[in-house]
Structure 1
Amino acid sequence: MNKTVWMYIFSGGFVLSAALLGLFVSSVSFPLTAVLDVLAEKMFGSDIFGHEGSSNIEVIIWEIRFPRVLLALFVGASLSIAGASFQGLLRNPLADPYTIGVSSGAALGAVAVLYFQISIAFLGSYTLPVVAILGGFITMMIVFIITRLSSRDLNIETIILAGIIISAFIGAVISLIIALSDREDMRQILYWLMGNIGMRGWSHVQLIVPFFIVGVILLLSRTHDLNAFALGEESAGHLGVNVQGGKVLILVGASLLTGASVAVSGSIGFVGLVIPHFVRLITGPDHKHVLPLSMLTGGGFLVLADLISRAIIAPKELPIGVITALIGAPIFAVLLVRERMRKG
């Protein structure tokens, strides 16, 4: 079997193992049979081992741990496939939702909803993710407008530089909102900004799922376009790719995933940067494999990061964004150095 097949096997096993660890390992331990019986009873209507469990076990497993694991899977998968798409579209391994400003815009939209208590009548509970997605998309458009005004050919380095500038400005606006908040709102916003999926339930899973499905379908349908963009937009056009239409669909799909992830979990960095880079080093540049493998690996990675965040100083928890940065930054530095040394 070639490396790509092995990578699919590894990624599938990695996601499954991470999910099981997320369910079984915590400050409160339950027998394996009890956990499996709760899941079987809730999902299929009958248990497996006939274990007599208490209502406390059901609440902890089904209402707390299981939705938390699912949310980590969805957020990690969303950020990873969005990062892989941005990197493919912009032909730069440093591109991801955070470096080009999409996550900052989404965070500003979400913080505005939290601070001003915005609720759009016809959206209801979907107000937060929708405003976050709009914030990310508008920010991305501003980045491209700035890039177009300063570089006619949409230079990749200029896009990233514009993203960093806009992110810095948005960071200042968010800091201003925090400074104007009372102590309780300030604590809530700061903790949310550091990235966190604790104390989330099925409602948050339900919020991200529709955006996840639409975003993933859009991006997976554009793998041929992303492969063509690697040769340059002019060459992609000669290969029959609808350049403008393909770019719009990729940007919309990646923005949907990023905005929805930020809305339910806050800002979690390095997932969309490190995971696609790691996958690409092993499988090569074909986005037909890079996108789904990044999605699987990123989901498993964030589940493990969440497990570390709640186990390392138990019973207290660290923000998951802190863990991903502590793990992701050194790994990405090593990958960059190795890649530079390989190219000589």
Structure 2
Amino acid sequence: MHARSASSTSSASSATSARTAAQLVALLLLGAVLLALGLAIGSLGWSPWTEAGDTMRLILWDIRAPRSIGAWLAGALLALAGAIAQGLFRNPLADPYLLGCSAGASLGVAALLFIMGISPAAAALALRVGMTGAAFVGAIGAVLLTLVLARGVTQSLRLLLAGVVVGVVLGSGSALLTLMNPDILRAMQAFMLGSTGYVGWSAVQVMVVSLGLCLLTALGCSRTLDALTLGEDTARSLGQRLTLIRLVLIAALSLATGAAVAQCGLIAFVGLVAPHLVRSWGPTTHGALLLLSALTGGALLLAADIAARWVIAPQELPVGIITALLGGSYLLWLMHRRKAHFGGAGGSQ
């Protein structure tokens, strides 16, 4: 009897591993195909890289390549942050903009743009800090403020509520700075809607390093996330150091969100939808979930960026609008499906 049970468990584990490997390969191939499309679609629509000429090579190397790679990296960062947040807080509606990360990054960028209009000396200092630095400082400051208000990381509900409060307050601060200096309104509007149009190779380097650090950290803590699905008491009984690991995961969540927001602005729903899609493909451990979510998020944002360039070419839509439309539609469909499922179950009783 025990041998049969062990055999069935081993078979199920092998099937899960094979499915995960197949999904991994499929997502890598999808990412490669989308990257090729990203190189072939520009501001004027379809213009493949096979066209000869120094100008086309310059456009490919300096504009399309960093933009396409950057869009994939930003999507991977947001999706990874979403998977971390959902596992850490055991809440399927958690997303990367918890803890006030996005609002803090937005306030940092607004403060940078505001300072640049005050005086030449202030502008010189702001340029040294840069938009990336300002967004990072704002995101880290928001997380620290959230942790202070929540009195640590032990109470997940208090932490979530503190993050909502911090997000609202810091968002109001961004709006106030924008009203005080209307000259920054256009730049802040582009930031709030999300755009990959300004991503260059330096931004790609920042996101590559951030993704590597956050992914390694999250994978190292994946066993704790698996244990948390059984409850905090069970996780502690298994020897997990929950306070320390929560702090580490919150740092990874903040870094991933801050890096993506600093380079591409506020892009909604990618971090929320990508982990849901991965879970819909079958049960999996958090180790596989984190990796597959990152690959899925990269493909989603890169596809949205390609659509943003192509739909109304030669004009361009903010990529945040595309992700909001697609992500919101997906969640509405998911809610309708679950409502119909539970309604049917209730009727059958």
TM-score, structure 1 normalization = 0.85
Q: Is the 8 A contact 2:67 2:196 kept in 1?
A: yes
Partner Cα separation in structure 2 for residue 330 and residue 175 of structure 1? 28
Q: CA deviation at 1:138?
A: 3.0
Q: Is the 8 A contact 1:119 1:127 kept in 2?
A: no
Aligned residue identity for 1:132:
A
Q: Over the residues paired in the alignment, what is the CA RMSD in angstroms?
A: 2.5
Q: CA deviation at 1:336?
A: 3.5
Q: Which residue of 2 aligns with 1:139?
A: 142
Does 2:121 correspond to 1:154?
no
Aligned residue identity for 2:155:
L
Partner Cα separation in structure 2 for residue 124 and residue 229 of structure 1? 43
Q: Which residue of 1 aligns with 2:34?
A: 18
Q: Is the 8 A contact 2:67 2:200 kept in 1?
A: yes
Q: What secondary structure, in the 3-state scheme, does the structure 1 residue paired with 2:281 have?
A: helix
Map 1:1-344 onto structure 2 (within 5 A): 2-26=18-42, 27=44, 29-31=46-48, 33-34=50-51, 53-117=52-116, 127-148=130-151, 154-156=155-157, 158-183=158-183, 185-339=184-338, 342=341
Percentage of matched positions with identical amino acids: 34
TM-score, structure 2 normalization = 0.84
Partner Cα separation in structure 1 for residue 70 and residue 255 of structure 2? 16
Partner Cα separation in structure 2 for residue 202 and residue 69 of structure 1? 11
Partner Cα separation in structure 1 for residue 187 and residue 139 of structure 2? 21
Aligned residue identity for 2:146:
V
Q: CA deviation at 1:181?
A: 1.5
Q: How many residue pairs align between the two structures? A: 321
Q: Is the 8 A contact 2:97 2:257 kept in 1?
A: no
Partner Cα separation in structure 2 for residue 176 and residue 297 of structure 1? 36
Cα deviation, 1:130-167, whole Å, max 9, x if unaligned, reads: 44233223323433443459xx96253x5434333322
Partner Cα separation in structure 2 for residue 70 and residue 126 of structure 1? 24
Q: Is the 8 A contact 1:3 1:282 kept in 2?
A: no
TM-aligned CA distance change 1:125 to 1:78, over 3 Å: farther
Q: CA deviation at 1:309?
A: 1.0
Q: CA deviation at 1:256?
A: 0.7
- Identify which range, 140-149 or 81-90, moves more after superposition: 140-149
Q: CA deviation at 1:335?
A: 2.2
Q: What secondary structure, in the 3-state scheme, does the structure 1 residue paired with 2:140 have?
A: helix
Structure 2, unpaired ranges of 5+: 1-14, 117-121
Aligned residue identity for 1:128:
M
Partner Cα separation in structure 2 for residue 160 and residue 285 of structure 1? 25
Rg comparison, structure with higher value? 2
Q: What secondary structure, in the 3-state scheme, does the structure 1 residue paired with 2:306 have?
A: helix
Q: CA deviation at 1:125?
A: 5.9
Q: What secondary structure, in the 3-state scheme, does the structure 2 residue paired with 1:101 have?
A: helix
Relative to total residues, which structure has the larger helix share, 1 or 2?
Answer: 2
Q: Is the 8 A contact 2:49 2:57 kept in 1?
A: no
Aligned residue identity for 1:195:
G
TM-aligned CA distance change 1:55 to 1:142, over 3 Å: same
Q: Which residue of 1 aligns with 2:119?
A: none
Q: CA deviation at 1:176?
A: 0.7
TM-aligned CA distance change 1:32 to 1:56, over 3 Å: closer
Partner Cα separation in structure 2 for residue 258 and residue 208 of structure 1? 10
Q: CA deviation at 1:275?
A: 0.7
TM-aligned CA distance change 1:337 to 1:111, over 3 Å: same
